[in-house]
Structure 1
């Protein structure tokens, strides 16, 4: 039995990830494979590390990708610093806070949580008070929560963690490359990004960086596990479990990404090409220009949604610029609308999770998907589909409102 060649449909992807991949990244992925220890390839690895530092706005020595999706990056960083019985504090304001809890619990942590309603974020002072009460070894928190479209302020939390000698680990999967992420200034110890969102690279790698505080912990743990520590350390070792994961052991990956190049796994060559090109494009555009572009298209999209007569979901003061959440009008089947957008307009938008499932749509304006033609296309198509679903929208207003933003703000900023 024969199979047809791949013939995937062309989509306008306006979800919070994955997003459309920049054509220049796709071209980079098609270049010839090199051996993972070929000097030409290790040169690319070194350049990826340097570009990650620039995008994460850090001077950390360690900055490299984990082979695997964003979740792999979260697990690698947390698994390498958690030992059974460690206290970890996880503030939850959406779906991905729960994911951090699950990872920490699997590695034996004693997890303490605090929650706020989905659509809101925490007052940093509330978290600082809880931090003092719990006195954890680690705080693990999401920066940009795509399930709710909110963004948690981190500067005050980072300062408090450093003052109390607590490690701060941040999931910046949805925000890196699309909004400001100041790793060093916010005193973040370890941070995880994702390729499939604002970096516009296919899913499959998780850029991470961590500082000397985490490096010291990892190396001390490695020394004990290697059996070259003091007798007291050996007793400590017997009371603890070694890291359960070989694949996600950062001490081994540090050897792999160091000049020693100790073999750990066969590197995903084409994905390194993709990440290299994606990071190069981010830095070529300029971080400030890139963040301004995401804000401009967010403003146009929001103006169009509101002009249509729809309501936005969540606390507007802490909106994640690259994700816009829209309340589904009463009596409307949200999945029917999404299906019609996909089938008739080849446009994909997203539902949400948990308590928000069936209540909101989420539109992503991320990376290469964050373009004027995409914003106008999704507004026009959504209006048409809602009319077919007998929703009383303000006909013709959405596109005009978005065009007004582009005519004024676009010229003023010089982005368009």
Structure 2
């Protein structure tokens, strides 16, 4: 019973949250016009630029919802009949297809098999053949843990398309992100992933080129997620003045402000990325040490935030239900081509080296109990050896 109460959440989002971040939101009677809230919003907008490695030429947005609301708000930049290329490595890259097909634009798709990413050269060849207004990439595909080489991918298409959009929902705050240097027009994320904040916010930065598109009133966007409606609020809040379009998630923004203070001013982005890389690598060392296969097929495609683990004998769903009794919660595999064959480990946010050790030890015990053929004890040994380097 005690073990179940003391749970380690190694999920792909939401994730474990620092008490300090949670406490920042445990406040009563905070209105969206209060000075306390306006200051938290103002601070968060300024720090969002730093988070994405953008400068003052980029406009930050904090909008209610999550990663999907941030994604759909990109329709604010499109007009009827324009052509969009979706580059997808899995389920959440495919979400762009489902979003854009609700609107009067033309959608083409380049997709990869599970475990792989679409090569930058393949994307470059496609954008040279046809005129695309916008191309979307997914930095880390949450369904497989595959990391797209964003710098090279953007470079390959930058001179041939008007707008480059990157979904950084499972990367921002844990992977290298350089919106300005890489000339990305829209970089987006959500509060509940590597930033280690509860769900509730879609977070974006837009380049000058993207902001110019916002001036065109012929946009296909709807109402709630039209960034034109949110822009006056962002401008006013950044200037320290309360503003309103629709009620913001007040307490989530209070928590985001605290998290960004820790991420940027205390831990530092570079140190945070290195921590994620170390924990992720230690977990993968453990998985491979016990003799299991990782969904991502190439080491350069391994991400700092998600690892998909393939099982050969047992059903992945049974692993998930059994490991909860060990006090650890993992994420199910959601890619339809690998259904029942894999599970996912989320290692992002406030994740530590000790979390890696607990996770690998728990996975070993559960798989051994269920009858999966593993090298019992070799996984935790490999994790420890990696961390001891």
Give TM-score scaled by structure 2 length.
0.93
Q: Is the 8 A contact 2:70 2:202 kept in 1?
A: yes
**Quick check: 1:192 aligned with 2:175?**
no
Counterpart residue number, 2:328: 347
Q: Distance in 1 between matches of 2:5 and 2:200?
A: 21
Counterpart residue number, 2:133: 137
Q: How many residues align?
A: 378
Q: Distance in 2 between matches of 1:258 and 1:94?
A: 35
**Quick check: 1:73 aligned with 2:70?**
yes
Q: Distance in 2 between matches of 1:33 and 1:280?
A: 23
* Match of residue 278, structure 1, among 243, 259, 271: 259
Q: Distance in 2 between matches of 1:85 and 1:94?
A: 26
**Quick check: 1:247 aligned with 2:224?**
yes
Deviations 1:245-294 (A, max 9, x none): 22111111001111275420122210110111111111121111111101
Q: CA deviation at 1:395?
A: 2.1
RMSD: 1.7
SS in 2 for 1:220: coil
Q: Is the 8 A contact 2:311 2:372 kept in 1?
A: no
Q: Distance in 1 between matches of 2:243 and 2:254?
A: 21
Can you give the 5+ residue segments of structure 2 that lack an aligned partner in the other structure?
none
* Match of residue 19, structure 2, among 2, 20, 23: 23
Counterpart residue number, 1:295: 277
Q: Distance in 2 between matches of 1:147 and 1:363?
A: 11
Counterpart residue number, 1:176: 172
Q: Is the 8 A contact 1:351 1:357 kept in 2?
A: no
Q: CA deviation at 1:10?
A: 4.2
Counterpart residue number, 2:306: 323
SS in 1 for 2:248: coil
* Match of residue 235, structure 2, among 258, 265, 277: 258
Q: Distance in 2 between matches of 1:262 and 1:16?
A: 33
Q: CA deviation at 1:323?
A: 1.2
With over 3 angstroms needed to count, the CA separation of the structure-2 counterparts of 1:389 and 1:40, relative to structure 1, is closer
Q: CA deviation at 1:44?
A: 1.9
Counterpart residue number, 1:306: 288
Q: Is the 8 A contact 1:82 1:107 kept in 2?
A: no
SS in 1 for 2:135: strand
* Match of residue 64, structure 1, among 61, 66, 86: 61
Q: CA deviation at 1:58?
A: 0.2
Counterpart residue number, 1:334: 316
Q: Distance in 1 between matches of 2:354 and 2:120?
A: 38
Deviations 1:174-200 (A, max 9, x none): 000011011111110011111111111
Give TM-score scaled by structure 1 length.
0.87
Q: Is the 8 A contact 1:301 1:375 kept in 2?
A: yes
Deviations 1:191-250 (A, max 9, x none): 1111111111011111111011111111122xxxxxxxxxxxxxxx6xxxx645221111
Q: Is the 8 A contact 1:93 1:120 kept in 2?
A: yes
Larger Rg: 1
Counterpart residue number, 1:39: 35
Deviations 1:341-399 (A, max 9, x none): 01x2121112222112212111111011x212221111111111111112232222222
Q: Distance in 1 between matches of 2:155 and 2:319?
A: 44
Q: Distance in 1 between matches of 2:277 and 2:150?
A: 20
Counterpart residue number, 2:374: 393
Q: Is the 8 A contact 2:199 2:252 kept in 1?
A: no
Instruction: Please say which of residues 316-325 and 50-59 is displaced more in the overlay.
Output: 316-325
Q: Distance in 2 between matches of 1:197 and 1:166?
A: 29
Q: Is the 8 A contact 1:255 1:261 kept in 2?
A: no
Q: CA deviation at 1:68?
A: 0.6
Q: CA deviation at 1:82?
A: 2.0
SS in 2 for 1:258: helix
SS in 1 for 2:190: coil
Q: CA deviation at 1:18?
A: 1.5
SS in 2 for 1:206: strand
SS in 1 for 2:216: helix
With over 3 angstroms needed to count, the CA separation of the structure-2 counterparts of 1:302 and 1:159, relative to structure 1, is closer
Q: Is the 8 A contact 1:297 1:375 kept in 2?
A: yes
Q: Distance in 1 between matches of 2:5 and 2:107?
A: 44
Counterpart residue number, 2:90: 94
